[in-house]
């Protein structure tokens, strides 16, 4: 943990002594976890617990249309879920222990897609993406469930999409913080061209860590894949937080890319 240094004078009988007072910085990094479509916050609780052990304040939550509000899933839109994410971010950032220059957002699939867009709307230092999805920009305010009917997402996701043609990829292209991008080897829902599109977009990233979980499917349906992903996230957070605490040499540029 880094500390603030203050020069002090200690009064003694015949004058004063010079001293340096070191006070620990009390703020800590914040980590916001965003589940995918059809998931819930329970999927990230164990990873959040491990991040807390690193000295972070963490937040998991259920997007509208999930958890307690599952009955709203048929009509919820991407705009509604993005507003959910903004509200969750603001709640986390308002915590008195949070260092607002050290916030990570970690999202899976649909949650990764929304997390990438969030980087244009709120300060994010570290962006963790597991199999981030892609959707056409059209129909932003139509129910999310209808997108698979109205758009040929299978075909869309099997080609490289230029960053200029997609809202999430445009955000990724402008992001100047650190990125973790995780692919599942046997993903039929978010195939490799989607991951390649994100990789191609992240040219301004301060650092880019790309990993493939061998044998994994989209939902990490086996315990080994779950453990592998948890290890990737936790190890990446350890590296990022250690770099931040190391001081100026470990500091990334403005995540906005400006």
Convert the pLDDT of each residue in 75-89 to its tens digit.
999 999 999 999 999
Q: Give per-residue pLDDT as tens, 36-65.
A: 999 989 888 999 999 999 989 999 999 999
Model confidence at 2, in pLDDT bands (50, 70, 90)?
Answer: low
Distance CA 154, CA 187 (A): 12
Is residue 84, in this structure, part of any structural domain at all? yes
Distance CA 27, CA 55 (A): 10
* CA-based nearest residue to 243, from 125, 128, 129: 125
Model confidence at 209, in pLDDT bands (50, 70, 90)?
Answer: very high
How many domains would you assign to the chain?
1
- pLDDT value of residue 248: 59
Q: Give per-residue pLDDT as tens, 88-117.
A: 999 999 998 899 999 999 999 999 999 999
Contacts 24+ apart (CB under 8 A), 162-167: 162/197, 163/197, 163/200, 163/201, 165/137, 166/134, 166/136, 166/137, 166/197, 167/117, 167/137
Model confidence at 152, in pLDDT bands (50, 70, 90)?
Answer: very high
Is residue 255, in this structure, part of any structural domain at all? no
CATH number at residue 124: 3.40.50.1820
Is residue 15, in this structure, part of any structural domain at all? no
Instruction: Tell the residue number behind the tokens 């220059």, with chain if given.
Output: 101
Model confidence at 250, in pLDDT bands (50, 70, 90)?
Answer: very low
* CA-based nearest residue to 179, from 165, 197, 154, 198: 198
Is residue 5, in this structure, part of any structural domain at all? no
Model confidence at 172, in pLDDT bands (50, 70, 90)?
Answer: very high
State mean pLDDT over 64-78: 94
Average pLDDT, the chain: 91
- pLDDT value of residue 16: 81
Given a contact cutoff of 8 angstroms between Cβ atoms, the answer to whether 33 and 59 are in contact is yes
Given a contact cutoff of 8 angstroms between Cβ atoms, the answer to whether 234 and 51 are in contact is yes
- pLDDT value of residue 24: 64
* 30-49 residues labelled b (16+ CB within 10 A) or e (exposed): bbbbbbbbebbbebbeebbe
Is residue 20, in this structure, part of any structural domain at all? no
Is residue 6, in this structure, part of any structural domain at all? no
Backbone angles phi, psi at 100, to 5 degrees: -70, -10
If 0-12 CB within 10 Å is exposed, 13-18 middle and 19+ buried, where does residue 3 land? exposed
State mean pLDDT over 72-76: 95
Is residue 19, in this structure, part of any structural domain at all? no
State mean pLDDT over 112-134: 98
* CA-based nearest residue to 57, from 90, 100, 107, 92: 92
For the record, the structure tokens of 175 come out as 């992001």
Q: Which domain holds residue 93?
A: 26-250
- pLDDT value of residue 60: 93
Is residue 139, in this structure, part of any structural domain at all? yes
Sheet holding 126-130, edge to edge: 57-60, 28-34, 98-108, 126-130, 178-184, 207-213
């Amino acid at each position: 943990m880094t500390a603030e240094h203050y020069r002090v004078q200690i009064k003694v009988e015949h004058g004063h002594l010079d001293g340096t007072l070191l006070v620990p910085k009390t703020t800590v990094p914040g980590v916001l976890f965003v589940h995918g479509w059809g998931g819930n916050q329970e999927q990230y609780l164990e990873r959040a617990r491990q991040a807390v052990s690193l000295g972070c304040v963490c937040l998991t939550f259920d997007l509208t249309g999930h958890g307690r509000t599952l009955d709203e899933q048929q009509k919820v839109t991407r705009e509604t879920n993005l507003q959910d994410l903004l509200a969750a971010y603001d709640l986390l950032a308002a915590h008195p222990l949070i260092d607002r220059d050290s916030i990570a957002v970690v999202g899976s699939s649909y949650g990764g897609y929304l997390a990438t867009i969030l980087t244009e709307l709120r300060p994010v230092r570290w962006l963790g993406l597991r199999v981030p999805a892609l959707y056409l920009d059209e129909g932003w305010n139509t129910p999310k469930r209808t997108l698979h009917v109205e758009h040929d997402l299978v075909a869309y996701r099997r080609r490289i999409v230029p960053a200029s043609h997609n809202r999430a990829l445009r955000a990724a292209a402008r992001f100047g913080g650190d990125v973790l991008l995780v692919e599942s080897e046997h993903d039929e829902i978010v195939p490799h061209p989607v991951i390649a599109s994100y990789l191609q977009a992240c040219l301004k990233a301060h650092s880019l860590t790309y990993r493939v979980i061998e044998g994994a499917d989209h939902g990490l349906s086996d315990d080994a894949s779950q453990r592998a992903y948890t290890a990737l996230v936790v190890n990446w957070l350890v590296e990022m937080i250690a770099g931040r605490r190391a001081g100026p040499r470990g500091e990334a540029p403005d995540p906005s890319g400006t």
